[in-house]
């Protein structure tokens, strides 16, 4: 029987056994990694965005070194690819795609949404970004340039969206609640009400 035909749970158990026997990865490390992966949700990224909207020093750190900023917000980044954060402004809107596969900042956004991995999104986002985001109801001003970030290698990229008008005086928790995963990928922008 080939590896491809092997029953997946048996295959997984066998690989884990070999990794443990070779002292490459312990059961405890695997359990720890599963726990971290399961705990990661877009809520973590949203919290970082809200913090950046409120605290100029944190915003500067986030744009300078996303990994450090995530750690400062209590996200475990050990063993994770470096995180880069790109800022949306009136002049530039960022849209993240991985045309090759599904590179995604899992540490801060959790599992990628199903459409992020779809052939359709991957093929179209890089060719017709305005058309794609329009289908999400996102229409940018004519004067805003769109920057498609094709995330294909060792970094993982997250978008820092613009703080929506009408949120003056809001605290971090209330701000974080309006930030959705699509806002941090760039298909949508945060809205209120």
Partner 1 sequence: MTQPLPAGTVVRVKLDWPELRGPVHIRTPHYLRGRRGTVVRYLGEFPNPEDIAFNRPPDLLPLYHVSFEPHTLWPSGVSGDEVLVEIYGSWLQLEGA
CB of 153 to partner 1, least distance (A): 4
CB of 142 to partner 1, least distance (A): 10
**Closer residue to partner 1 in complex, CB, 78/130:** 130
- Which parts of this chain interact with partner 1 (CB under 8 A)? 82, 84, 92, 99-100, 126-130, 145-155
**CB 19 within 8 Å of CB 79:** no
Beta bridge partners, 96, equal: 149
Candidates 23, 103, 118, 151; catalytic one: 103
Residue 102 falls in the annotated catalytic set: yes
The C-alpha atoms of residue 12 and residue 134 are separated, in whole angstroms, by 42
The C-alpha atoms of residue 165 and residue 127 are separated, in whole angstroms, by 30
Residue 2 falls in the annotated catalytic set: no
- 116 φ, ψ (degrees, to nearest 5): -65, -30
**Closer residue to partner 1 in complex, CB, 14/92:** 92
Taking the chain, what is the end-to-end CA distance rounded to the nearest angstrom?
A: 57
Candidates 2, 23, 26, 98; catalytic one: 98
CB atoms within 10 A of CB 28: 9
**Closer residue to partner 1 in complex, CB, 78/127:** 127
CB of 149 to partner 1, least distance (A): 5
**CB 69 within 8 Å of CB 58:** yes
CB of 40 to partner 1, least distance (A): 22
**Catalytic machinery residues:** 98, 101-103
């Amino acid at each position: 029987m080939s590896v491809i035909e092997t029953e997946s749970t048996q295959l997984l158990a066998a690989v884990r056994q070999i990794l443990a026997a070779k002292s490459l990865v312990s059961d405890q490390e695997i359990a720890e990694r599963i726990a971290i992966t399961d705990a990661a949700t877009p809520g973590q990224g949203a919290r970082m965005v809200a913090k950046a909207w409120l605290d100029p020093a944190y915003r500067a750190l986030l744009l300078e070194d996303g990994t450090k900023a995530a750690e400062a917000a209590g996200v475990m980044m050990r063993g994770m690819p470096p995180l880069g954060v790109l800022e949306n402004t009136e002049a530039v809107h960022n849209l993240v795609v991985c045309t090759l596969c599904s590179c995604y900042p899992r540490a801060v956004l959790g599992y990628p949404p199903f459409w992020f991995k779809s052939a359709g999104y991957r093929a179209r986002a890089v060719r017709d970004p305005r058309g794609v985001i329009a289908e999400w109801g996102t229409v940018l001003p004519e004067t805003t340039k769109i920057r498609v970030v094709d995330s294909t290698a060792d970094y993982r990229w997250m978008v820092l969206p613009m703080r929506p008008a009408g949120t003056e005086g809001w605290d971090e928790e209330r701000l974080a609640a309006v930030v959705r995963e699509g806002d941090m990928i760039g298909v949508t922008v945060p809205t209120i009400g």
